[in-house]
Structure 1
Amino acid sequence: MTTFIWVAVVVLAVVAIAAVGYVVLQQQRRSHLRERFGPEYERMMAEHDNKREVEQELIAREQRHADLDIRPLPEESRETYASRWTEVQERFVDSPGFAVTEADQLVAAVMAERGYPTENFEQRLSDLSVGHASTLDHYRKAHDISGRAARKAASTEELRQAMVHYRSLFEELLHETSRGR
C-alpha cells in the first residue's frame, strides 16, 4: 500500500472515531437532561419542533440555576411557613379564592427566601425546572387556576385542586435541604 492510502485510512478512522464520539456525547447529554428535567424535558420536546434548541434552553437553565444562591430554609423559617400554610388551608373553608391567592403568595415567599428570583412566573418556572421538575406541572396548574379564580371563573373543586397543587411544590421547597437535590 502506498503512503497515500495509509494516510487516507488513518484519516477515515479518525473521522469515524470522532463521529462516534460526537454521537455518544450527544446521547449522554440528552440522557442527562432527560434525567434532570424529567417531565419538563418531555413537555418541552413535545411542544417544540427544534429538539436542539430545547436542549440548549435546558442547558442555559442549568447554567442560570448554578449561578443562583439557592439555600435551604433555616428551621425557624420552615416552622413559620408551615404554620402559615396551615392557616391558609383553614381559610379555604370560608374563602377558597382568597386562600388560593394566599397559597400562591406563600409559595413565592418561600422561593424568595430560598434564593430563587420571583420577578415573573415564566422565570420562576424556568428556575424551578432545574431542581423541582417533578412538581413543576403542579405549580403550572395551580397558577392557572389561581388566575381564573381572580376572574371569578374557577369552581370550588378547581380551587381545592389548586391548593393540592400548590402544596406539592410548597412542601418540596420547604423541606429541601440541599442545592439541586
Structure 2
Amino acid sequence: MTAICVYCASGPVPRHHLELATELGTEIGSRGHTLVSGGGNVSSMGAVARATRAAGGHTIGVIPKALVHREMADVDADELVVTDTMRERKKIMDERADAFIALPGGIGTLEELFETWTGRYLGMHDKPVMLLDPDGFFTPLSDWLRSLVPSGFVRTESLAALETYSSVGSAVDRAEKG
C-alpha cells in the first residue's frame, strides 16, 4: 500500500477541479492506497478524501487546531491528526507519505508543494513530487520556473525533481513506483 499526500484547495474552486479531486481520490482508493491530506472536509480537499473512502481507501487527515472549524475538519477520516501548528502538520504529512501530488490550489497548496519539492531537490527525501495538470492550470507556473534556468535561479536538475502528469492514472502509477 502506498501513502499518497495530496495538496489541494480548501476554498472555492471551479467544478472541474472538484471532479479532478474526486477522480484522484477514486483512483487512490480503488488501488487500495492511503490518502494523506490536510484534514479539511471542504472543496477539493473534502472531495478527494470522500472519494478515496468511497473507493475503499484509507484516509489520514492532518489539520492544525486553528483550522479545525475554518476548514471543517474531516471527522470521517480514518485517522484525524490535530496538530498545534502548520509546521507540525506539514512534518507529519511528509513523514506519513510515500509520494506527493499537487492539484490546482492557491497559496497554501503552492507553499506545501514548494517546500516538499525543495526537500526533494536538496536530498532530504527521494519521494516523487508531482503536479497533476490535465487542463494546463500549472502551465504558467512551469513556464515561469523554466524561464529562471538561464539566470541560475532554478537549476535544470531541480526542475527534473518536479514531475508533471496529465492523467490521474499516470500520476498514481508514478506514486506506486516510489
Q: Same fold (TM over 0.5)?
A: no
Which structure: greater strand fraction? 2
Larger Rg: 1
Which structure: greater helix fraction? 1
Normalising by the smaller structure, the TM-score range is under 0.3
**Larger relative CO (CA 8 A, sep 6+): 1 or 2?**
1
Q: TM-score, normalised by structure 1?
A: 0.24
